Structure 1
Amino acid sequence: MAAAPPSPPQTPWRRQALTLLLLLAAAGSGNAEPLPAGPVVEPPPPEPPAPAPPLVRLEPGWGTLQQTLGLPAWLDLDLEILAEPMANPVGGLVKEASWIQQTTLALTLRAPAAAAAGGEGKRWAMHLAVAGYNGDPAYAQRVGAALPLQEVANPVGFWLTRASLERRSDDGRWSLEAGLLGMDPDLFSTPIEGFYVHDALNGAPVLFTIPNFPIFPVAAPGALLVLRPTPATTLRLASFDLAATDAVARLLGTASGLPPGRGWTHQLQWSYAAPWLNRRLRLPIAACREGGGLRARGRNCGRPVMVERQLPGGLLQLAAYAGTGPNRGLYGSATVPVALPWGLDHRIWAATAAGFDTAANPTPSYIGGGLVSQGVLPRRPLDLLILGVARTGFSPISQPGLSHEGVVELGYQIRFNQSFNLQPSLQWILNPGGAGRVPGLFAAGLQLGFSF
């Protein structure tokens, strides 16, 4: 037999290829030993999350009557005191000082938790409120102004301002309240107006001069239906018996001075807290601490903080009223958040009203607006700077010979805690009295607000 020919010698590249094939075969075999592993590199530990910036907010204050008296949770008892001393060093018929004070005690009763849990009782509430006034309510008339310079300028005595029963739905989509109640603060006013002192700027400016209209502290038998079809939309429908306003005012012995009323008045109001107005207001204010003060936070900030908002959100509002007389009118307002180069948070607002029946409405035209800013002073981030302007036109029928009266108000609210604030203010009354015979009136006041 012939011998097999010798195998050709393997070249270096062939040996390398054979070695690579053997390694691949070993890697694909389940019984193959794994290749020696290299040194294991541990992943770096995760960085701890940055601590949340501290929150600057109002101090709790002195507590409430409910806490002080140890009342149960189903009973709310609140006491508010609002004092407004004022003087007019320039202009007016006379130069003098005045003091007026309002004290309000409000009680809300709900079913006890044990009886209300999961039952009908939790949907019901009873409301009772009494307001007392002492001081000088006629200061504006003596110095020559037609409209009150102080929001609490009402006849001295006690007023029953609310005695009603309320029923709410479980989901909060509607509520109905009936009994003795008023239009303020739910109808024809916006939260931003509550920061002002002059009565033409502070709440329900369109209606406060109409006789017998149930504007605080005036109350009347009536009902208020509140509908909330969406989280941002609120509809309010209300009716009041004007014929009973004087009788209700005299229940606690107050000489209200209201003329005899007649008939009913009906209101419809649409309020819209537009999401596009309130999108950036869902969180506290982002600020930066520099030295001993705060400023709006920019791109670079070494000491970030958050500041509690003290201003209401953006709001659009339209309303109409119609009643016996006839007495009809429209009202509209807008509160808009704006960015300004000073301070921390800002709102501008505007409101206008038109009364169609000048024989029944002594002030059928109104236009007003203003600016409220938070944190203008770096060391006082919770204080408010307040500026407002308003012009009220008088009826040529019920107020013959009068044209208009205007006001410019500048104030600064010092917020000490949730129980106490102090607000110095300056007012310039334009065309006091509306007849052009009284010099321009300059008044300085101080509002003291307490809540318990």
Structure 2
Amino acid sequence: MAGARPSPPQAPGCRRALTQVLLLLAAAGSGSAEPLAPGPTADPAPPEPPLVRLEPGWGTLQQGLGLPAWVDLDLEVLAEPMANPVGGLVKQANWIQQTTLALTLRAPAGEAAAGEWKRWAMHLAIAAYNGDPTYAQRLGAALPLQEVANPVGFWPTRASLERRSDDGRWSLEAGLVGMDPDLFSTPIEDFYVHDALNGAPVLFTIPNFPVFPVAAPGGLLVLRPTPATTLRLASFNLAATDEVARLLGTASGLPPGRGWTHQLQWSYAAPWLNRGLGVPIAACREREALRPRGRSCGQPVAVERQLPGGLLQLAAYAGTGPNRGLYGSATVPVALPWGLDHRLWAATTAGFDTAANPTPSYIGGGLVSQGVLPGRPLDLLILGVARTGFSPVSHPGLSHEGVVELGYQIRFNQSFNLQPSLQWILNPGGAGRVPGLFAAGLQLGFSF
């Protein structure tokens, strides 16, 4: 009878593996086991790059006065000294200043009745002007060279109640309100000094229209059907604009108004225009300068964006007179070989009733760039061009007036910025009789 076949000898590595398996099974059965030796791990995630951002500033009135969180009290001062060393009828200097005090009251948090009251807010605002608002006219220009060139005195610019929905899809404001800054203006225009480039270029010369600092009884309905879409519908009583101005003793000089005016505006922050703009700018530090980050970077840095996102707008207005018109604008992010972030914008308007609208045509545009100079990643370089056409009915013999503005905004902190600017006024007055006008100014902005 043949004997049993001997089993082949096991290799030492196999015996060690079998022993470890048996030990693990035994440990699992007994409920205790020695921890396994750690194996190789993935490389740790790289640390977040440091963030370059605006310093907090000097605080707010709310903090300084120790006001509760449901009270917002803000004070803004905007001064615009200017002189014209070349051109114009005369060579003069001017200082004009706007001071705005705004108060917003909301329901205190934690109150038992805050369920409905938390949706409500009350807004109050007063603007004061001192200086000479007729500086541009004395030089021979038709349009103000300074954004804050408004009649001196105190103006009630807002006194209203607002109700918002819980989901933020709609809001309704009624009382004494104005068009600025909600209607016929884009955030990018706020960086300019000349009045034809800064905010509401459509209506700033139309009598009785409630453009800041004028306010009128009316209402503003805001609808947000999608996160990117905003519809604004507003109506104002033109007959009351002068009466509202006299509430604080200001002589507006506006002719008596009549009837109502209505505005409809569609704004679309297109996702394809804002792709990647929700995060800080990816930059790379090279000595003292910051450059856009490439594939390789020894010192990565994140920079806070100072420019608004991309935006498309289309609007229309209709008032008694009749006075009707259309407005459109576009703000587009662009990539350029200098600086860190850039916005290209354009706006245009067409007024259909030249008897009531002294400036029925307008076209403007410009470029605003962030971080152009080395070591100044938060500053802005500002360039704008605009052309305003005059009505052949109300201003016979006048054709157009143009402006080219170049500025640089130095952003010290959230409370203070300084902006030197240069302006070249083309065809001042619109009649071709005043030589081209060159003006230099300095805008000082304070907020508390």
TM-score over 0.5 for the alignment? Answer: yes
Q: Map 1:413-432 onto structure 2 (within 5 A).
A: 413-432=409-428
CA contact (8 A) 1:382 1:415 kept: yes
- After superposition, the Cα gap between the structure-2 partners of 1:270 and 1:34, relative to the gap in structure 1 and judged at 3 Å, is closer
1:244 and 2:240 are equivalent in the alignment: yes
- After superposition, the Cα gap between the structure-2 partners of 1:413 and 1:34, relative to the gap in structure 1 and judged at 3 Å, is closer
CA contact (8 A) 2:366 2:384 kept: yes
C-alpha distance in 1, partners of 2:219/2:114?
27
1:351 Cα deviation from its structure 2 partner: 0.3
1:280 Cα deviation from its structure 2 partner: 1.1
Amino acid corresponding to residue 19 of structure 1 in structure 2:
S
Q: Deviations over 1:149-202 (max 9, x none)?
A: 000000010000000000000000000000000000000000000000000000
Amino acid corresponding to residue 171 of structure 2 in structure 1:
S
Q: Deviations over 1:75-116 (max 9, x none)?
A: 100000000000000000000000000000000011111326
1:48 Cα deviation from its structure 2 partner: 2.8
Aligned to 1:439: 435
Aligned to 1:338: 334
CA contact (8 A) 2:127 2:157 kept: yes
CA contact (8 A) 2:157 2:214 kept: yes
Identity %: 86
1:100 and 2:83 are equivalent in the alignment: no
Q: Could you tell me which of 172, 181, 187 is aligned with 1:176? A: 172
1:46 Cα deviation from its structure 2 partner: 4.2
Amino acid corresponding to residue 426 of structure 1 in structure 2:
L
C-alpha distance in 2, partners of 1:241/1:380?
47
Amino acid corresponding to residue 400 of structure 1 in structure 2:
P
> 2:344 aligns to what SS in structure 1?
strand
- After superposition, the Cα gap between the structure-2 partners of 1:42 and 1:175, relative to the gap in structure 1 and judged at 3 Å, is closer
Q: Map 1:288-303 onto structure 2 (within 5 A).
A: 288-303=284-299
Aligned to 2:215: 219
Aligned to 2:123: 127
- After superposition, the Cα gap between the structure-2 partners of 1:299 and 1:117, relative to the gap in structure 1 and judged at 3 Å, is farther
Amino acid corresponding to residue 270 of structure 2 in structure 1:
A
CA contact (8 A) 2:238 2:259 kept: yes
Amino acid corresponding to residue 419 of structure 1 in structure 2:
S
- After superposition, the Cα gap between the structure-2 partners of 1:33 and 1:155, relative to the gap in structure 1 and judged at 3 Å, is closer
CA contact (8 A) 1:424 1:446 kept: yes
C-alpha distance in 2, partners of 1:229/1:355?
29
C-alpha distance in 2, partners of 1:305/1:186?
35
Aligned to 2:380: 384
CA contact (8 A) 1:166 1:175 kept: yes
Aligned to 1:114: 110
CA contact (8 A) 1:116 1:122 kept: no
Aligned to 2:56: 60
Structure 2: runs of 5+ lacking an equivalent: 22-35
Amino acid corresponding to residue 119 of structure 2 in structure 1:
R
Aligned to 2:325: 329
> 1:247 aligns to what SS in structure 2?
helix
C-alpha distance in 2, partners of 1:104/1:364?
30
Q: Could you tell me which of 15, 19, 25 is aligned with 2:7? A: 19
C-alpha distance in 2, partners of 1:412/1:205?
21
Q: Map 1:28-427 onto structure 2 (within 5 A).
A: 35-36=18-19, 42-115=38-111, 119-427=115-423
> 1:243 aligns to what SS in structure 2?
helix
Amino acid corresponding to residue 136 of structure 1 in structure 2:
D
1:42 Cα deviation from its structure 2 partner: 4.5
Larger radius of gyration: 1
Amino acid corresponding to residue 302 of structure 1 in structure 2:
G
Q: Deviations over 1:16-53 (max 9, x none)?
A: xx636x98xxx9xxxx9973459x97512443321110
C-alpha distance in 2, partners of 1:420/1:401?
43
- For these two proteins, the number of residue pairs brought into alignment is 431
Question: What is the TM-score of this pair, normalised by structure 2?
Answer: 0.93
CA contact (8 A) 1:115 1:121 kept: no
Q: Which moved more, 1:150-159 or 1:118-127?
A: 118-127
CA contact (8 A) 1:223 1:238 kept: yes
Q: Which moved more, 1:59-68 or 1:111-120?
A: 111-120
Question: What is the TM-score of this pair, normalised by structure 1?
Answer: 0.92
Calculate the aligned-residue CA RMSD, in Å.
Answer: 1.9
C-alpha distance in 1, partners of 2:362/2:134?
23
